Amino acid sequence: MAFQCLHMMLVGRGDMKTATQIEPAGRAHLLQGQSLAVGFYLNELLMRALHRQEPAPGLFDIYARHLAELAGPSVDFGTVVRGFERDLLAELGVGIDWQSTADTQEPIDPQAQYWLAPEEGILQHRGRGYPVAGNILKAIADNQALADAADRRQARNLLQSLLVPHVGSAPFNSRALWRTQGFVADAAPIWPERTNPEHRIIKLYLFNRALNDEGNGAQNFS
């Protein structure tokens, strides 16, 4: 079952192991429709972000919690997905404080504009970088739903930009599932197939930072 957390023991050498002592860890979640597509997206994120046989005990409870939210009677898919992406980034070592600015230590103002530098955190905008509205940052931090479609897209693209160095930029199969099931494409909380402006700008930021750090080369963040 795709959405059943399990406790098991793996024995054997190499990549091919035998699973023994398999026991369910919590209830199974029977996801359907949009919840199913989003659940597959969470699975794809984990498959891409983690190395094979890499332990990630902190992610186990995070994953189980968000699956339970998807199976709930009333769910905002964007809120669930952004929360999972935020928590995944933290587990991957991207320690962004979503509640305050890194340069002034001031609380995020929902009415202000900010700039997100991947290696530094949230900074005062001051005309640099791609502006991010404070209400979007607050929604990500506090698991709040965003009513405006443009705000939802910006939140999605912002988290995507931060995850690209860890999961790559190839299209997700769950996005195709969302589309083929006839759901509204613009409402999809899953990444779009096209590159967004925040993605390009953050890639440029990382490229320039790598040049400055290494002097004679840069990492590939595509």
**Residue 145: pLDDT band by 50, 70, 90 thresholds?**
very high
Note the CATH architecture for domain 6-12+25-214.
Up-down Bundle (1.20)
Closest CA to 101 of 82, 110, 114: 114
Query: With 90 as the cut, is the pLDDT of residue 175 above it?
Result: no
Region 150-172: mean pLDDT is 90
Q: Is the pLDDT of residue 29 over 50?
A: yes
Residues facing residue 114 across a β-bridge: 124, 132
Sole residue written with tokens 């186990």:
60
Distance of alpha carbon 50 from alpha carbon 47, whole angstroms: 6
Indicate if the alpha-carbon torsion angle 177, 183, 184, 189 is positive or negative.
negative
Give the pTM.
0.79
Q: How far, in Å, CA of 158 to CA of 144, rounded?
A: 16
Pairing of strands 18-24, 6-11: antiparallel
Q: Give the separation between CA 20 and CA 39, rounded to whole angstroms.
A: 26
Comparing 123 with 26, the larger pLDDT belongs to 123
Task: For residue 90, give the H/E element and its range.
Answer: helix 77-91
Q: What is the pLDDT of residues 128-141, one digit of tens each?
A: 778 899 999 999 99
**Of 83-97, 154-168, 200-214, the least confident:** 200-214
Backbone angles phi, psi at 17, to 5 degrees: -120, 165
The label of the residue with tokens 């997206």 reads 41
Q: What is the pLDDT of residues 30-58, one digit of tens each?
A: 888 888 889 999 999 999 998 877 778 88
Q: What is the pLDDT of residue 139?
A: 96
The mean per-residue pLDDT over the stretch 182-194 comes to 62
Is the pLDDT at 197 greater than 50? The verdict is no
Mean pLDDT is lowest, of 4-8, 39-43, 91-95, for 4-8
- Comparing 95-109, 126-140, 149-163, 199-213, the range with the smallest average pLDDT is 199-213
pLDDT band at 182 (very low <50, low <70, confident <90, very high): low
How many Cβ atoms are within 10 Å of 38's Cβ, its own excluded? 27
Kindly provide the b/e burial profile for residues 145-184, where b requires at least 16 CB atoms within 10 angstroms of the residue's own CB: ebeeeebbbbbbbbbbbbbbbebebeebebbebbeeeeee
What does the pLDDT look like over 113-130, one tens digit per residue?
A: 999 888 889 999 887 778
Domain boundaries, the chain: 6-12+25-214
CA–CA separation, 151 vs 70, rounded Å? 21
Mean pLDDT of the chain: 81
Higher pLDDT, 185 or 78: 78
More confident residue, 212 or 179: 179
